[in-house]
Amino acid sequence: MNDFGAMDELYRDFILDHYRNPRNAGTLTDPDATFEDNNPLCGDKIRMDLRVEDGKVTEVKFAGRGCAISMASASLLTEQIKGMPLTEIAKIGKDEVLANVGISISAARLKCALLGIKVLKQALAMKYEPSPEEEAFPDGRPS
Amino acid sequence: MSAIAGPAAQPLTETDVARIRAEFPILKERPHGKPLVFLDSAASSQKPIQVIDAMDDYYRRYHANIHRGVYHISELATEAYEEARRKVARFIGAPSASECIYVRNATEALNLVAYSWGRQNVRKGDAIVLTEMEHHSNLVPWQILAQHTGASLRFVRVDDDGLLDLSNLDALLDGAALFAFTAVSNTLGTINDVATLTARARAAGAVSVVDACQAVPRMPVDVQAWGCDFAAFSAHKMLGPTGVGILWGRRELLDAMPPFLSGGGMINVVGLESSTYAGVPARFEAGTPAIAEAVGLGAAVDYLEAIGMARIHEYELRLTEYALSRLAQMPAVTVYGPSLAHRTGVVSMTVGDIHAHDLATILDSEGVCVRAGHHCNQPLMEKLGVAATARASFYLYNTPAEVDALVRAIDKAKSVFKIK
């Protein structure tokens, strides 16, 4: 079950690659939308900056620190949403994010995988009308 | 009573530890099909059968509310609850059992001092002195007290070796109402010289509060030798159950303190408009307490005393020395905290660029339980320049073979992350 194979499956090469070489790393000057949040359980922290033109994300950068799962998940997300209309971003749900990371994540690590999408949605919600079909994402429990 | 009793001078042997392990039912568990290697006792220890049985026996034979009933089983329950208090008092060298107040955990104990003693005695302009190595439970209550009273917070620095920098302690304590510090760091394993710190506090006219959470489970503690005014600890870190802890306080301080929580059990005479309060400790034990848990704590004290705290401490140091020597041979591993001369069985580490959370996930796949994160110690983590560490902590039931299992699991993590 949870032997070497399972760990190699969780930490596949593309996850390690995104962890060590995060795409779209950095910040934007005068972003149209920005948000930073952390997972108080483990201290993971992600900030996401977005440039939005004509209802589309034209530029995105993220900065932060965290585990391989949270960093890779956020990195993958930035690749996915570049050029995407906000209406499409609103449809990205939990299952899609987990599928992108390519793993079924144990409950203990769910918050890691979902921190990036949570920050993205909050950045957009503060600036743009959230769509009613949007999914709520879990909050970390402070310790 | 455990069968492992022996004089302090006689170190625990492999056979002793094997017999101790046999008394902890959970150690037979096999998470992911691997033997359970439990290296997270600094967060919460496992429980011997004697503690589990004592609580079970209470519920089966003599559960009743205490200090209320005149009937037989209520008297039995009251006596067991008070007997456990006497055991705790003896265990920590308290002059009187009535100075040992049952609370939910050390966090509640520290809040009790902050709210009850603090709001009565701390004034605007006073200083509250803490250290940079405090657990959030010995930091946040004082932040709230400072915000409420207008007192200021001052911090004893932690140096690069993980020790308290005492070079400016007298200046920090000048004008201080209170000095709160931990006896043992839950993150670095640093053992602080409590008696020296309390003496300096006393000389400056400050009341001293000791977070004894990591000390009471793993070394001989004598609150009178420490010379502190308050000490707080939780049962669940010292083989006892969750849900009960102890605030020890100096009698004259406790006598002068107002209630913290109020209600039944802590009163003397109650009128519609006002009431008078019971003496110590009842004044601070409002409501039906955790009776079974107190009984369990008493059984945990019996268990630890039978083995002997000096022997437990010595054994833990031996395990720590072995772990540090094994980890020192791994170039990818960075260990935080002071040298063995100043530390106990708490070892925080990072491995290459593997985040502590990922490391803990991979160790778990080998049955090895470690804590990953900031250990409720965010400011200290900032200081170490890491977001999180993985922390292995050892206790009397751990073995050198389990240290080897930890090392093998770290090797696996390096392999998964493709680190040399």
- pLDDT, one tens digit per residue, over B170-183 is 999 999 999 999 99
What pLDDT shows up at residue B8? 60
Residue B274, pLDDT > 60, answer yes
Average pLDDT in the B302-328 region? Answer: 97
The answer to whether the CB atoms of B33 and A1 lie below 8 A apart is yes
Residue A53 is assigned to a structural domain of this protein? yes
Residues of A in contact with B355 (CB under 8 A): 66-68
Closest CA of chain B from A56, distance in Å: 34
Does B194 lie in the same domain as B263? Answer: yes
Does B312 lie in the same domain as B299? Answer: no
Residue A1, pLDDT > 60, answer no
Banded pLDDT at A131 (limits 50, 70, 90): low
What pLDDT shows up at residue B1? 45
Residue A2, pLDDT > 50, answer no
Residue A106, pLDDT > 70, answer no
Question: pLDDT by residue (tens digit) across B378-392?
Answer: 788 888 888 789 999
**Please, what is the average pLDDT of chain A?**
85
Closest CA of chain B from A72, distance in Å: 12
Average pLDDT in the B26-33 region? Answer: 94
Number of structural domains chain A divides into: 1
Question: pLDDT by residue (tens digit) across B149-170?
Answer: 999 999 999 998 999 999 999 9
Banded pLDDT at A4 (limits 50, 70, 90): low
Q: Give me the residue from B355, B361, B416 closest to A8, CB to CB.
A: B416
The answer to whether the CB atoms of A42 and B373 lie below 8 A apart is yes
Q: Give me the residue from A65, A69, A109 closest to B387, CB to CB.
A: A65
Among residues of chain A, what percentage have pLDDT more than 70? Answer: 82
Residue B258, pLDDT > 90, answer yes
- A17 contact B CB<8A: no
Average pLDDT in the B118-141 region? Answer: 97
What pLDDT shows up at residue A143? 36
Does B357 lie in the same domain as B288? Answer: no
Residue A105, pLDDT > 90, answer no
Banded pLDDT at A112 (limits 50, 70, 90): confident
For B200, other C-beta atoms within 10 Å of its C-beta total 19
Residues of B in contact with A143 (CB under 8 A): 136, 373, 376
Residue A44 is assigned to a structural domain of this protein? yes
Q: Give me the residue from B32, B378, B381 closest to A2, CB to CB.
A: B32
The answer to whether the CB atoms of A143 and B355 lie below 8 A apart is no
Residue B350, pLDDT > 90, answer yes
- B318 contact A CB<8A: no
Is B213 catalytic? The answer is: no
Distance CA B295, CA B36 (A): 27
The answer to whether the CB atoms of B361 and A65 lie below 8 A apart is no
Residue A40, pLDDT > 90, answer no
Q: Which domain holds residue A36?
A: 4-127
Give the 3-state secondary structure of residue A35: strand
Does B242 lie in the same domain as B314? Answer: no
CATH code of B233's domain: 3.40.640.10
Question: pLDDT by residue (tens digit) across B225-239?
Answer: 999 999 999 999 999
Residue B243 DSSP one-character state: T
Residue B6 is assigned to a structural domain of this protein? no
ipTM field: 0.86
The answer to whether the CB atoms of B374 and A43 lie below 8 A apart is yes
Number of structural domains chain B divides into: 2
Does B122 lie in the same domain as B173? Answer: yes
Contacts with A88 (C-beta within 8 Å, 6 or more apart), sequence order: none
Residue B8 is assigned to a structural domain of this protein? no
Kind of pairing between the strands at B127-131 and B176-182: parallel
Residue A143 is assigned to a structural domain of this protein? no
**Chain A, 37-96: which have a CB under 8 Å from a chain B CB?**
41-45, 65-69
Average pLDDT in the B181-209 region? Answer: 97
Average pLDDT in the B3-32 region? Answer: 88
C-alpha Rg value of chain A to the nearest Å: 15
DSSP B57-124: HIIIII---TTT--SHHHHHHHHHHHHHHHHHHHHTT-S-GGGEEEESSHHHHHHHIIIIIIHHH--T
- What global pTM score does this model have? 0.92
Does B257 lie in the same domain as B367? Answer: no
Residue A34 is assigned to a structural domain of this protein? yes
Does B291 lie in the same domain as B254? Answer: yes
Does B313 lie in the same domain as B246? Answer: no
Q: Which of B276, B305, B334 is the last residue of a domain?
A: B305
Q: Are B348 and B337 in contact (CB under 8 A)?
A: yes
Q: Which of A3-7, A36-40, B47-51 has the lowest mean pLDDT?
A: A3-7
Q: Which domain holds residue B221?
A: 53-305
